[in-house]
């Protein structure tokens, strides 16, 4: 009986704080009042409930910690709707922010709708926020089950977090939607991302500087730009990424697959990276390391050093490419380049839908090929052959 009473008193339903859930009324104040009750609760597992069958329209929300309970839950069963760009009442913020909230569990079958189409046409003048849901300096985070559609920018961002488990999400945005990364990770450690379906207009998962001990498994990615480390080192910045395992993922109709991208002039390192057991379905640029990253294609070739890239493995890749160049190892000519690069049991063949370049067709006889510059390591049982890596 005591357990039952505790469970009942710990339920904090936003509709009890004035939320209407008709998709039009601004429910922001009700959400913030409910959060205050949750954060002040000393119960074990106090739970903020967003009930099913309703759509809650909210302006940008900032949920500040630390909170009194050692374990907090947010149960999202209904839908949450963001304002369109013309109705956005704050500048520079993410839509929903959790800051310094530890031991937070967010779960449910609900949907977050960012109404991003109103932003995408003006994406170059976007405000500088993270986009959808932003976790800042949160420890022991669990996020599962929910769906995010049409975020204005990145759907989920983690920065400065330690120990997080993200699983069972569904992330959706059109292939043409700009800057809509599925998940952004930076300055965080001991992170697990598992069993997520992502189709979006930019990186399915973007791994930024300051990441250590990250495991990514069972991701279905596409459309999108793959699972990317970087870009790192822009504006001569020092950044590091280390100890990353990406396993059992599928890249389908993506612009890139397994990618590492760093700017010339930056410093730091990328090391201890392993992409393993990857399925490719008409993936453009399935494997790519680029130490001279320049998305605008107008950067000066300074030939200066970039971040050191070492101990990177691509193991058990199978499938098809949508471009003739299946493997790119483009490392700077100044310095050691990329070292200890290992490819093992990689088979990438030409897919049914392929983008052909006339020069490539002539030079490579219409066959899939690998390009490399100043990369060092070993390729074993790899198709196509990688000329700069010894067998």
- For 197, residues 6+ apart whose C-beta sits below 8 A from its C-beta are 169, 170, 171, 219, 220
d(CA 158, CA 328): 29
Residue with the two structure tokens 């609900």: 110
Q: What is the pLDDT of residue 299?
A: 74
- % the chain with pLDDT above 70: 90
Q: Nearest 5°: phi and psi at 40?
A: -85, -10
Q: How confident is the model at residue 131 (pLDDT cuts 50, 70, 90)?
A: confident
pLDDT average, residue stretch 132-148: 98
Buried b (16+ CB within 10 A) or exposed e, 265-285: bbbbbbbbbebbbbbbbbbbb
- The CATH number for 16's domain is 2.160.20.10
Token pair, residue 31, equals 């959400």
Integer Cα distance of 18 and 172 in angstroms: 30
Q: Annotated active-site positions, please?
A: 225
Q: Please write the tens of the pLDDT for every residue from 301-351.
A: 655 778 999 999 999 999 999 999 999 999 998 888 999 999 999 999 998
Let me know if residue 389 belongs to a domain.
no
Domain-embedded: residue 231: yes
> What element of type H or E holds 9?
helix 2-9
Q: State how far the Cα of 300 lies from the Cα of 302, in Å rounded to an integer.
A: 6
3-state helix, strand, coil split of the chain in percent (to 5) is: 10, 50, 40
How many domains would you assign to the chain?
1
Rounded CA-CA distance 140/119 in Å is 32
Q: Which pLDDT belongs to residue 278?
A: 99
Domain assignment present for residue 388? The answer is: no
> Does the pLDDT of residue 63 top 50, yes or no?
yes
19 domain-assigned: yes
User: Using CB atoms within 10 A of its CB, is residue 287 exposed (0-12), middle (13-18) or buried (19+)?
Assistant: buried
pLDDT in tens, 353-380: 666 565 555 566 678 999 999 999 999 9
- Asked whether residue 390 is domain-assigned, the answer is no
Predicted confidence (pLDDT) per residue in 147-177, tens digit: 999 999 999 999 999 999 999 999 999 999 9
Q: How many CB atoms lie within 10 A of CB 339?
A: 17
Q: Supply φ then ψ for residue 324, to 5 degrees.
A: -65, -35
Give the integer Cα–Cα distance in Å for 130 and 97.
9
d(CA 337, CA 119): 39
Which tokens belong to 245? 């395992």
More confident residue, 123 or 389: 389
Structural domain includes residue 188: yes
Residue 28, pLDDT above cutoff 70 = yes
Per-residue pLDDT tens for 275-301?
999 999 999 999 999 999 988 777 776
Cα 320 to Cα 173, 310, 348, distances in angstroms: 24, 26, 5
Question: Which structural domain range is residue 158 located in?
Answer: 2-383
Of the listed ranges 34-48, 79-93, 184-198, 202-216, the one predicted with least confidence: 79-93
pLDDT at 370: 97
Domain presence at residue 146: yes
Query: What is the per-residue pLDDT for 123?
Result: 59
Are 185 and 216 within 8 A, CB to CB?
no
Q: Which residue has the tokens 């970087």?
A: 230
Mean pLDDT (whole number) for 96-114: 98
- First-last CA distance in the chain: 68
**Which residue in 198, 127, 186, 126 sits closest to 158, CA to CA?**
186
pLDDT for 294 equals 84
Residue at 123 is within a domain: yes
Does an H or E element contain 232, and which? strand 227-232
List, in order, residues 6 or more apart from 296 with CB less than 8 Å away.
none
> For 87-96, 182-191, 214-223, which range has the lowest pLDDT when averaged over its residues?
87-96
The closest alpha carbon to 101, from 57, 191, 162, belongs to: 162
For residues 59 and 70, give the distance between their C-alpha atoms in angstroms, rounded to a whole number: 28
Question: How do strand 325-330 and strand 287-290 relate by DSSP bridges?
Answer: parallel
């Amino acid at each position: 009986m005591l357990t039952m009473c505790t469970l009942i008193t710990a339920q904090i339903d936003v509709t009890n704080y004035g939320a209407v859930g008709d998709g039009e009324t601004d429910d922001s104040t009700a959400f913030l009042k409910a959060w205050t009750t949750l954060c002040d609760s000393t119960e074990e597992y106090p739970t903020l409930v967003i009930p099913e069958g309703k759509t809650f329209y909210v302006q940008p929300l900032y949920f500040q910690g630390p909170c009194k309970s050692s374990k907090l839950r947010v149960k999202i069963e209904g839908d949450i709707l963001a304002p369109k760009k013309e109705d956005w009442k704050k500048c520079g913020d993410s839509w929903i922010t959790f800051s310094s909230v530890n031991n937070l569990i967010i779960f449910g079958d609900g949907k977050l709708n960012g109404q991003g189409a109103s932003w995408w046409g003006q994406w170059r003048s976007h405000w500088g926020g993270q986009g959808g849901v932003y976790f800042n300096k949160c420890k022991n985070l669990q996020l599962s089950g929910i769906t995010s559609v049409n975020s204005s920018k990145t759907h989920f961002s983690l920065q400065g977090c330690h120990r997080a488990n993200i699983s069972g999400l569904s992330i959706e945005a059109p292939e043409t939607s700009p800057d809509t990364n599925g998940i952004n990770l930076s300055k965080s450690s001991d992170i697990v991302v598992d069993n997520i379906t992502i189709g979006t207009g930019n990186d399915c998962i973007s791994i930024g500087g300051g990441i250590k001990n990250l495991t990514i498994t069972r991701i279905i990615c596409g459309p999108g730009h793959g699972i990317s480390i970087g870009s790192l080192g822009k504006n001569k910045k020092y950044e590091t990424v280390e100890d990353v395992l990406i396993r059992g993922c599928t890249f389908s109709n993506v612009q890139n697959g397994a990618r590492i991208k760093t700017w010339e002039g930056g410093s730091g390192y990328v090391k201890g990276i392993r992409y393993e057991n990857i399925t490719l379905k008409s993936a453009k640029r399935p494997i790519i390391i680029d130490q001279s990253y320049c998305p605008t294609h107008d950067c000066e070739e300074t030939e200066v050093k970039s971040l050191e890239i070492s101990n990177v493995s691509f193991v058990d890749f199978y499938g098809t490419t949508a471009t003739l160049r299946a493997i790119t190892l483009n490392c700077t000519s100044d310095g050691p380049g990329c070292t200890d690069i290992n490819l093992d049991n990689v088979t990438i063949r030409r897919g049914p839908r392929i983008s052909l370049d006339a020069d490539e067709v002539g030079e490579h006889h219409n066959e899939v090929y690998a390009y490399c510059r100043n990369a060092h390591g070993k390729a074993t049982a790899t198709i196509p052959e990688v000329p700069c890596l010894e067998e």
